[in-house]
Amino acid sequence: MGIPATTSPTREERQRADGLYFVVHPSFLEPKATALYGPSATLSEYSGSYMPDEVTRECSRRMHYAAWRMSREKSATRRAVWKNHYIAMRDLVVLGNRKLVFRAVRRWMSNPSRSDDMISDCQIVMIQSVAAFNPWLGIRFSTYAFTCLMRALSRMS
């Protein structure tokens, strides 16, 4: 059949979501969406310092859902709950994929003396790539993020 269409949020939706970028997916409107993506839904476990792609996709879907819900909420308390969920999911993906930053910098840099500066700059790029990643497109996050990191490193050099 194909991948369901995703859309970008409107300017008003982004303003209501405190400027957070998110992807709008048709599954967000389904009655079971909160059970799938909400804070109380169980999260797949992973161990070690490597986050599998399936877990990354799951966290990304929940992150986008949280921002979408935040853009729909009227209550400041509920908006804060969804924002905290968004940040928790984003941070989990960033921490679970932080090895990509080190791998990209190591691959790019021939002189390791400036690598600390590059690593800190690339951490920001990693956070941006997590926010912009669309988990419904079928692209692996590591491929997407590594490309973002390599482009950023080429601009920094």
List residues bridging with 9 in a β-sheet. none
Residue 145: exposure state from Cβ atoms within 10 A (0-12, 13-18, ≥19): buried
N-term to C-term CA, the chain: 44
Element (H, E) at 145: helix 141-156
Task: Count CB atoms within 10 A of the CB of residue 154.
Answer: 9
For residues 95 and 75, give the distance between their C-alpha atoms in angstroms, rounded to a whole number.
Answer: 30
Q: Provide the percentage of residues in the chain whose pLDDT is more than 70.
A: 96
Whole-number average pLDDT of the chain? 90
For residues 43 and 40, give the distance between their C-alpha atoms in angstroms, rounded to a whole number.
Answer: 9
Dihedral angle of Cα 130, 26, 32, 44, to the nearest 10 degrees: -30
pLDDT tens digit sequence for 54-93: 999 999 999 999 999 999 999 999 999 999 999 999 999 9
pLDDT tens digit sequence for 84-121: 999 999 999 999 999 999 999 988 887 777 788 889 99
Task: Count CB atoms within 10 A of the CB of residue 130.
Answer: 25
